Structure 1
Amino acid sequence: MSSLAGTPKPSLPSRALLLFVLLTFGVTWGVIGGYIYFPERAAGTFGAISGSHPLYFLATWAPGIAGCLLVLGFGDLRGLRAFLSRLLYWRCDPVWWAFILIGIPLVFMAGSLIKGGPLLTPLPPEGAGPLFALMIMMLFLGPMEEFGWRGVAQPLLQRHVAPFWAGAIIGAAWGIWHLPAFYLAGVVFAEWRFLPFFIGNVTLAILVTPIFNSARGSLLLPMLFHWQLINPFWPDARPWDTWILVAVTAGIVWWQRDAMFSRAGAVTDVIPSRPRS
C-alpha cells in the first residue's frame, strides 16, 4: 500500500509472488489450453490461433499484466508510476550494454555458422521491410513479459535467495509456463523441442540476473535483452545458440560469483522509493 506521506513504499509483500504465479499461469494456460483441448470451438469462436492473434498476445503478456496489476493493487497509481520509472534505469557496467547489443547477435551468428547457416536471416523477396515490421512487433510481444519476470518475481525472490538461485527458479518457471505452446499448432513452438528450450530458459534467466542487478532493477535492459533474443534479423542457430549461451553463462557466473551467490547488493525493491536514471 502507499505510505501516508504520499511516497510509495519500496516493496510488495513477498506473498505477492504466489499471486503473480497464479495469475500468470492462469491467464496463459487458460487461453492456450482452450485451443489445445477445444480446438474447433475455440477457433470457431475466436478465430485460428497464430503468433499475431490478439489472444496469443494476451497469453504472452500474462506475466507483465500480472506484475502491473499487483503493483497497482498494492501500491496504487503512485506505486505503478514509480514501478514504471524503472524503464528509465539505464546506467550499469558498460560490459552489459556491449553484451546485449553486440554479444547476443554474435552468439546467433556463431551458432548459425557452426551449423552451416548464414550470418543474418536471408531477406524475403519483398526486401527488409517485412523483417523490420516483425522486429517492431516483437518489441511488443516477448519483452512485455519482463514487467513480471524481472519487474516483480526477481526482486521478490532475491529477498530470500541469492541472485543465481532466483534466476534459476524464474528460468524454470518461465520454461514450464511456455509448455502448452509446444502442443499448439500454428505457432513457432510447435516446431521446437521442449528440453533444449527449457535449458535455454533457465540459462537466459540466470544470464540476465547480473545485468538486472548491475542496473539496479532496470526494466529497460532486460526488455532489450529479451528483444535481442527474438530479433528476426538474427539467423536460426538452434541448437548451437543454446549451448553457446550455456558456456557464456557459466563463464559469467564464475566471473560474478561473489555477487551471484550472495544477497548483499541484490535488488529487492519492486516499487522504488524514488526514481533513478
Structure 2
Amino acid sequence: MPARPHPVAVADWSPRATLLGYTTLTYAISWSLWSVWALSETGATLTGTVLFILGGLGPFGASVVLVRASCRDVRAWLRGIFEARIALRYYALALALPVALLLGAAVIHIVLFDGVVTPDLLPGIIEYPLFLGFVVLFGGGLEEPGWRGYLLPELQEAYSPLTAGLLVGVVWAGWHLPLVFIPGTIQHTLPLGLYLLQLVELSVLLTWLANRVGGSVLPAMLLHAGGNALLNYYPVGGVSGATSPLGLGLLVAMLTLAVVALVLTAGTSLGTDRPAR
C-alpha cells in the first residue's frame, strides 16, 4: 500500500495556505461564539457581553494557536508585536489621525450639507480616555495582534505590503459580516457597502503604520480604538450622525483621501523600505 502523505506542518505553510488556515480558524472561533450569543437569551447580560468579547478575540486567539503550532516561541512573538519602544510621533499620529478624519467629515457635513452641530448629544471630552481604553482592552484594539501582528507579516513574505494589506482588509471585513445581521450591534445599523469599504481602506493605513514601527501593533491598536471611540463625538448628531449613510459616507471619503495620499507617497511598499522606530 502506498504510504499516506504526511500533513504539511504549519511552519511549512505557503502564504496562501496561511491565509486560508488563519481565516478559517479565526472565523470558526469568532462566529461560533457570536452565534451562541445571538441565538441564546443572554442578550445584554454579563454572559452575553463575555461571549461577544471572546468572539472579538478570535483573530488574536487564532494567531496564538498558529504560532504555537509552527513551533515558534509565543512569548518572543508577543514581545515583538507589543514592542513599546518606538518613536512617540507614531503614537501621536495614531491618536490624532482619527480626530482629523472625523473633524474633516464634520466640517463638510456642516458646510455643504447644512448639518447642525449638536453638542448636547456628545459625551463629555473627559470620558474619551475611558472609551478609548475600553476599546483597546476589550474591543477592536485586541484584534490587531491577529490582523497586523500575525497575518500581515505572513502575507508580506510573498506579496507586496499593499497587496497584503488589501488581503487582510478583505478577510477583516468578511469576519465582521455576522455582526451585520445581529440586531443590537452597531454593525447592524451601518450601510453595508460603506462599512466594508472602510475596513479594507483602513487596513491599508494600519499596514503602513505597523510597517513603519517595525511590526509593533501598539499604534495600530490605538488608531483602531480611536476610530471606534470617536464615533460618539461626531459633531453632527453624535454616533447616530456618524453611522448615518451621509455621516459614514463622509468619513469613508476622508479615509479614502488619506489612503490615496499615502499610497501615492509611500508606494506599494507601505513603509517596509524605511522602517523607523
Q: Does 1:26 align with 2:28?
A: yes
The aligned amino acid for 2:251 is: D
Structure 1 unaligned residues grouped into runs of 5+ = 1-10, 268-275
Q: Identify the residue that residue 5 of structure 1 maps to in structure 2.
A: none
TM-score under structure 1 normalisation? 0.77
Shift, 1:229, TM fit: 1.0
Change (3 A) 1:258 1:171: closer
Between the aligned partners of 2:65 and 2:202, the Cα distance in structure 1 is 25
Shift, 1:169, TM fit: 0.6
Change (3 A) 1:256 1:29: same
The aligned amino acid for 2:198 is: G
Q: Identify the residue that residue 98 of structure 2 maps to in structure 1.
A: 104
CA displacement 1:45-104 (0-9 Å, x = unmatched):
xx115897111101111101111222233346xx1111111212443594x444322222
Shift, 1:19, TM fit: 2.7
CA RMSD of aligned residues (A): 3.0
Change (3 A) 1:266 1:75: farther
CA displacement 1:237-262 (0-9 Å, x = unmatched):
422111110111001101001624x9
Change (3 A) 1:266 1:81: farther
Q: Identify the residue that residue 231 of structure 1 maps to in structure 2.
A: 229
Q: Identify the residue that residue 248 of structure 1 maps to in structure 2.
A: 258
Between the aligned partners of 1:89 and 1:129, the Cα distance in structure 2 is 25
Match of 1:193 among 191, 194, 202: 191
Between the aligned partners of 1:170 and 1:179, the Cα distance in structure 2 is 15
Between the aligned partners of 1:91 and 1:175, the Cα distance in structure 2 is 28
The sequence identity of aligned pairs, in percent, is: 22
Q: Alignment partner of 1:53: what SS?
A: helix
Change (3 A) 1:118 1:154: farther
Change (3 A) 1:120 1:163: farther
Matches within 5 A, 1:51-66: 53-66=49-62
Change (3 A) 1:98 1:137: closer
CA displacement 1:107-127 (0-9 Å, x = unmatched):
112212322254979445xx5
How many residues are treated as equivalent by the alignment? Answer: 245
Matches within 5 A, 1:255-270: 255-257=265-267, 259-260=269-270, 265=273
Between the aligned partners of 1:160 and 1:49, the Cα distance in structure 2 is 43
Between the aligned partners of 1:32 and 1:220, the Cα distance in structure 2 is 26
Change (3 A) 1:92 1:134: closer
Between the aligned partners of 1:143 and 1:74, the Cα distance in structure 2 is 25
Q: Alignment partner of 2:229: what SS?
A: coil
Q: Identify the residue that residue 213 of structure 1 maps to in structure 2.
A: 211
Q: Does 1:48 align with 2:39?
A: no
Between the aligned partners of 1:137 and 1:103, the Cα distance in structure 2 is 19
Shift, 1:32, TM fit: 2.7
- The answer (yes or no) to whether the contact 1:179–1:194 under 8 Å persists in 2 is no
- The answer (yes or no) to whether the contact 1:163–1:266 under 8 Å persists in 2 is no
- The answer (yes or no) to whether the contact 1:67–1:152 under 8 Å persists in 2 is yes
Matches within 5 A, 1:9-24: 13-14=13-14, 15-24=17-26
Q: Alignment partner of 1:186: what SS?
A: coil
Q: Does 1:74 align with 2:42?
A: no
Change (3 A) 1:12 1:100: farther
The aligned amino acid for 1:19 is: G
- The answer (yes or no) to whether the contact 2:201–2:259 under 8 Å persists in 1 is yes
TM-score under structure 2 normalisation? 0.77
Q: Does 1:134 align with 2:131?
A: yes
Query: Higher helix proportion, which one?
Result: 2
Change (3 A) 1:258 1:144: closer
Q: Alignment partner of 2:183: what SS?
A: coil
Q: Identify the residue that residue 112 of structure 2 maps to in structure 1.
A: none
The aligned amino acid for 1:88 is: E
Change (3 A) 1:93 1:253: farther
Q: Alignment partner of 1:48: what SS?
A: coil
Between the aligned partners of 1:30 and 1:163, the Cα distance in structure 2 is 31
Q: Identify the residue that residue 114 of structure 1 maps to in structure 2.
A: 108
Q: Alignment partner of 1:218: what SS?
A: coil
Structure 2 unaligned residues grouped into runs of 5+ = 1-10, 110-114, 235-241
Matches within 5 A, 1:174-185: 174-185=172-183
